[in-house]
Amino acid sequence: MSTNNTNDQENTALPRNKKIDDAYAAYVAEQNNMRIRSDAKSLFFVVIASVIMAANINYFINQGGLLPGGANGVAILLQRVADKFLGVEIPFSVLSLSINALPAYLAFKTVGKKFTAYSCICIVLMSFMTDLIPAPKVPVTNDRLLLSVFGGIINGGAISMVLNSGASSGGSDFVAMYFSVKKGISTWNYVLMFNAVIILISGCIFGMDGALYTIIFQFCQTQMLNTFYKKYYKKTVFIITDKPDPVAEQIMSVTHHSATVFKAEGAYTHKDHYVVYTILSADEMHQIRRCIRNVDAKAFINVINSENVFGNFFIKPVG
């Protein structure tokens, strides 16, 4: 009898384990499919943004005698110096790839492999497309102010597209991230100073008019980045719900941010409710709002801009 009972237990255990294995396999397959779709979407936008930046160099930046920031600015400045003083036309791709080689290596070692891979695709494609896309026979406009404003808007929009896809246009971004990771310091002010030095050198060689228009160009570019790249903006979120535990679990699983739950009473109905309080990055709001609605369709969500956040706030690392 004991043998038969043991066999019965084994036979009943096998299907249950198989169901668990099948469910886990289905979950893994779903996650892989989502990751593949996300990677394909990111790659698509990186390619589109790279072509836009290349066209912008030929149609706006070069036409207006402007300089973008970072490695692209250095490459264009070296191109113009070689052409003016040596009479040599150096392809943009040669200079761009040479300047970005070491920063890309540093980023690969410290920042993240996927991030660096996407960034390198952006750099390589933009570099060669800049050489391949012909300069316009007829200028877009002869007004340098319009070239500065709209060139900055286009460049800022393209860079935002790259950043939101989990990549970078390379150069000084790589260096800044490397020192931020290795030394634990913010280096973006140094990048700003570096760009200012490049503008000043260009102004001394080619005239201050171009340098001043470049400042307008970079200002417009920065405004576009501030508008469309929300990773470092913080939002304080208050969620009034009757399902605090599932809501808090969604927040933690999706964003890796924790939450605080308060018990509250409705002033009108005098019914017990709960308030879930958390702080998120602005770029996480759309996703988490949808997740909360799936858990509690009646949840009341209030979002407030946060000027300063002190303490251990999780920032999702680049891939």
Instruction: List pLDDT tens digits, range 204-233.
Output: 999 999 999 999 999 999 899 888 877 667
Sheet holding 234-241, edge to edge: 260-265, 272-281, 234-241, 300-306
Q: Going by DSSP bridges, is the β-strand pair 272-281/260-265 parallel, antiparallel, or unpaired?
A: antiparallel
Residue 69 has pLDDT above 90, yes or no: no
Residue 13 has pLDDT above 50, yes or no: no
CA atoms within 13 A on the CB side of 200: 6
Amino acid found at 163: L
Helix axes 92-110, 172-183, angle to 10 degrees: 20
Q: Which helix (H) or strand (E) holds 304?
A: strand 300-306
pLDDT-derived band at 312 (thresholds 50, 70, 90) equals low
| Residue range 81-104, pLDDT digits in tens | 999 999 999 999 999 999 999 888
Looking at residue 268, what is its pLDDT?
A: 84
d(CA 133, CA 126): 10
pLDDT-derived band at 23 (thresholds 50, 70, 90) equals low
pLDDT-derived band at 285 (thresholds 50, 70, 90) equals confident
Q: Which residues pair with 273 in a beta bridge?
A: 264
**What mean pLDDT, rounded, does the chain reach?**
84
More confident of the two residues 169 and 158? 158
Looking at residue 37, what is its pLDDT?
A: 83
Residue 149 has pLDDT above 90, yes or no: yes
d(CA 58, CA 151): 10
Q: What percent of the chain has a predicted confidence (pLDDT) above 70?
A: 82
Looking at residue 22, what is its pLDDT?
A: 64
Is-contact 172 100, C-beta < 8 A? Answer: no
Is-contact 211 219, C-beta < 8 A? Answer: no
pLDDT-derived band at 1 (thresholds 50, 70, 90) equals very low
Residue 150 has pLDDT above 90, yes or no: yes
The number of helix segments (H) and strand segments (E) in the chain equals 11, 4
Is-contact 127 93, C-beta < 8 A? Answer: yes
Tokens at residue 62, please?
A: 């070069």
Residue 10 has pLDDT above 60, yes or no: no
Looking at residue 257, what is its pLDDT?
A: 82
Most confident of 123-132, 259-268, 299-308: 123-132
Looking at residue 2, what is its pLDDT?
A: 47
Phi-psi region at 303: left, alpha or beta (left = phi > 0; alpha = psi -120 to 50): beta
